[in-house]
Structure 1
Amino acid sequence: METADWNEEESYLSIVTAGSPEELKARRTVCQQVLLEQLNVIPVQEWMYRVNVMHDQLARTAVRICEAQMKEAGYGLPPCAYSFIVFGSAGRQEATLWSDQDNGLIVEEALEGERKRYFEAFGSMLSDVLEAIGYEKCEGRVMCSEPLWRKSLADWKRQLADWMEQLEWEPVRYLIIASDMRHVAGSEALSAQWRKALHTGFTDNSKLTMAVLRNTVRHKATLNLLGQVLTERFGDNAGGFDVKYGLYIPLVNIVRHLSLLHGIETSSTLKRLDELAKLEQYQHLEEIRRACLTALRMRVNTPFTVTDGLIVSSDYYAENDLKNKQLRAELRESLLLIRRLHKALQRQLRSAERRQL
């Protein structure tokens, strides 16, 4: 891995054979350097694929190391099957090199007695191992160390059903997070049953899809009345633009809403667009795809720093970077599209709400 050539077998083998968090972190740093050399050399879709395969291999190896550490600590082997799942950008296979933790556990049997003791310790230890290899803990606490995101399959089904019945902002937000779930390690059958429970709840459920739509159309303004890009006015990022929440997340939200509406189960934004295109019901899908690629390209090129071999970014483009005319034109075009789409979805929401009166 001394050149920028991508040798999948060699790159991934170096990760999966690591025997400790320290070793795994060191191999992550080497692999990241290879990927950084390839940034803007290969198409952004291919680059994102390679980055996310690396993340998956790191997570699977972390799970294996954690199981070994649990055994050494006297907990023994896992008392039943379980699945390690990811959400957020990792769930969508769109994680950057600096993405934090967004994950959970599905346990086959009820979390009682020995199983409760084991998986409480396992979830906490796994989150610590992931932090040790460079994944910051999630500020929103969407992690397998938290009881809300670590449940038996039966409890998960009840939790999903409860969120679907409440239809308030917070439970719907949790459902939106859940809908990006992707299996990474452990029992694929458990993940498949979890996914089926989620999507069955959306079938012919107009109140639920309307609640998701209500969350989807709320976002901070990114253009002024003249169609000019709005930048941060205050703070450390004054003059800069928030690529993640100003551009990337609004597109993710729009595509996710349409996908849930049509029972599309894949979690990747670009793959969701492929499935939506097959329906032949929507205009502007090609424009949305171009905007998504712009968002991904801008996001992975935001300024970053390297600390102890790990990459950190604020997800902001600095004021000077925004002076690039081509970049600013692409950004403005994407934001104008988002504004048009949001206005259309807001009209749709108002119409649906009137029908329910």
Structure 2
Amino acid sequence: MNTKKNLYQDFEHPFAQYVRILGKGKTGARSLTYQEAYDAFSMILKGEVLDVQLGAFLMLLRVKEESVDELAGFVQATRDQLKFKALQVDLDWSSYAGKRKHYPWFLLAALTLAQQGYNVVMHGAAGHTINRLYTEQVLEYLGYPICQTDLDVERELTKRHFAYLPLAAISPVLSELIGLRNVMGLRSPIHTLARLINPFNANATLQAIFHPAYRSSHQQAALKLGYLNSAVIKGEGGEFERNPDAKTLICGIKNGELYEHELPKLTAERSPVEEELDLATFKAVWEGKQQHAYGEIAITETMSIALYTMGVCDCFETAMQQAKEFWQTRHQTAKLG
């Protein structure tokens, strides 16, 4: 990114207008329109802004919280700069939070669906928040490759029906920006928009959020982006994983129509957190060599939401039955690596 300091002493930098819109005081500031958001983020992705402008822009958005138009504009600007091969993908699964208290059970839900022949692409970023276990680390432990190109994704979908693509392979700029989490001390809109990229135009998308207020903005932005089937939940640890210890409100899109559906709390008391996230235990559960009461509820419940979102099942009850069947028989075909 351009860091020259004195070039714009005599005339205004083209990006300054977007910082001014967001930061012009309590009465003068406003949200960006969709087109303004699209244009501003296009400049960011092309490296046409100064570092000081970028920091101000991201933090002003963070304080204000991005609007639906802003979020959709940012995501569309990102999607329009992608040059990936067209692939048949059933489910786009974003994974950007990492886990701290519980194992990443959502990952076993995704791998189980892949075993059944559904093409699942998962994308995420590792290491931007301290003391969390990220999907990329877990997949490497299980023997799954980390894709770097669309050809890698195509190969893995053909071989396993599952592929993981890091954000750095989707957009090096976004990867650099999401890494500023420990520099700024705050999450930025990058953490939100990355979840919505859907790089291969999958038929269905899944996103999880940390804060309940973001459910609706994700849902509305997905609709504005033209996504026909989508689900947003407040997932355990910020990942798309059903938490059995709490009610789960799904803000979704089904065949282009918005809906909300609440799933009930499933446990009488809050489940204990893991003393340590030992991946040997996680792998043993996947292979059917060990059981985990909390984990297996989280897996099947998460899988049922995915099945409903993909349109495999027309109601959550049927989806739950299907998920349990898939999980109970997965050890017959489970192959790692």
Q: Relative contact order (alpha carbons < 8 A, sep ≥ 6): 1 or 2 greater?
A: 2
Select the structure that is richer in helix: 1
Instruction: Give your verdict on TM over 0.5.
Output: no
TM-score by length of 2: 0.31
